[in-house]
Structure 1
Amino acid sequence: MLLDHFDYEKLLVPLNLFYDLHTGGPRRPIFHDVAATRPELLELDRNFSAIREEVLNVLPERASIPRYHELDAMQTYISGTVDKDRDWKVFPLNLMGVKPKGFADRCPRTVAILDTIPGLFEAFFSILEGGKSIPAHEGPYRGYLRYHLGLVVPEENPPSIRLKDQVYTWKEGESILFDDSWDHEVYNSCTQDRVILIVDIRRPMPQPFDAVNRAAQAIMKPIYGGQIARKLATMTPPATDGDAPAMAEEKQTDDKEKASEELAKKLPDQADPVQEWGQREATGKAPATAGHSAHGDKKPDAPE
């Protein structure tokens, strides 16, 4: 389609200059207080544990989760040029009102909360592989603010983001709201994955700026949202919830068979190892969340 080859960012340059009459242009703030600016986002903070559980359930199928530049070719520079042997993957939840089938339905609780937030541009889980950094760049549009909620953050040598002249290190259960049209980059030398929820939400502005911003969002919906939705339609989504139990059961059966064979070799004169194994209860280790909690209505100290 023609829209697939349209560079929508060309529309944004004059809009940004117009918004700067309100935002302050080069004097506009980097960080914004979540509670004071967009308090609706705090519902995500309060549901940190449920959101984290949903993303942990889809991470085992990460092979079918697209890399950012596979989903949006305009992100090739920041996603596919630095640390090429490492991945920056995105799990889309809402793209200009489009909820990608096979993705959004895997995280019903998260999507339900997002549905209550007005002015949503897009929302996705950002999965950054250990050792994958993101080069310096600027977001294309000043009509939205970007929200981050830390979901899985390595305790040892956690990655951080530089925004203009300030640096923030992600923490599980902690959120920030910022203007990503400022120059920013991600430093990441850890060995484990970092997972956050990213939400782009309409920037609160008085009239006539807000009316123009709403109109621009309506125009971008079929251009950007539709383009990404068509790209997703050609991809194989992660396994559904119905497939997951079958995969887990198959793996459990294989593990039992391997363990039985090993026991049979070690204990040839003992009782049937298959029967002995079957009498045991499988145990699993839940992801540790002790010591981390969403701050609810309390906003963490913003970097200064």
Structure 2
Amino acid sequence: MDPKQHEKVKSARGFIAALDQSGGSTPKALSLYGVEPGSYAGEQQMFDLMHAMRSRIVASPAFGGDRVLGAILFEQTMDREIQGRPSADYLWSVKQVVPFLKVDKGLAEEADGVQRMKPMPALDGLLARAREKGVFGTKMRSVVKHADAKGIADVADQQFAVGRQILAAGLMPIIEPEVDIHATDKEGAERLLKAAILERLDALGPQQQVMLKLTLPSVDDFYADLVRHPQVLRVVALSGGYSREDANRRLARNHGVIASFSRALTEGLAAQQSDAEFDRALDASIAGIYAASAA
């Protein structure tokens, strides 16, 4: 791991931009951006339009390492270029934003109140490629839908097992066991999940650290002991379907936790905006999320 990137992620103010919409979430992301499904034909055109949106965000003068610590990329984004440079290289060399990569292959069907990650048989090859391209860390998502102790233990076991594989490849894992904000027993699920995470953090080696990406909790400062844990480099929060205003308000009440927002970050951006309008809207979005992350 690049020591400058490591220090920035550990200590600097700011937040992580989640720009990792994949095949399943891309049509909705484009629709919110003002690009309707009828305006493109096939997956390739869809991903071309999505890359154009991401490139516009990253290349904007509003987007830079003074407020944005890192950005999570989709695999196709890592393999493409932004303004003539490989995406991860552009992020770090031009913008001083630390590059991360989404590595999971989506969610399995729900069982025991959770959705685990689908198998990742080609993960080692992807991690090696990511390192070659200058990526600092990775992100992988599971979803907890109910306060089911067995399901939550399974999710934590899978996340930490893959996390160890990522550490062994020389990258920093962001472990993301999302709790569905619509879960009727959300608070109970969060209690079970935090206990499971703490147990597995305590089993890591003294030199091993991970990052955690968690749902904004029902109880303010609920993650304080995770923020302080020696095996945790940083705790970041997902917006999880909350509006940006609501997500920022909730985030500001959780000290030591910073944002890693996706949909909330791009809320209000539109393909039809002029560059000046787009940059103003993105600047306002980044300013609000930065302020909430620094609270």
Same fold, judged at TM 0.5 (above): no
What is the TM-score when the length of structure 1 is the normalising length? Answer: 0.24
Structure with larger Rg: 1
Per the normalisation by structure 2, the TM-score is 0.24
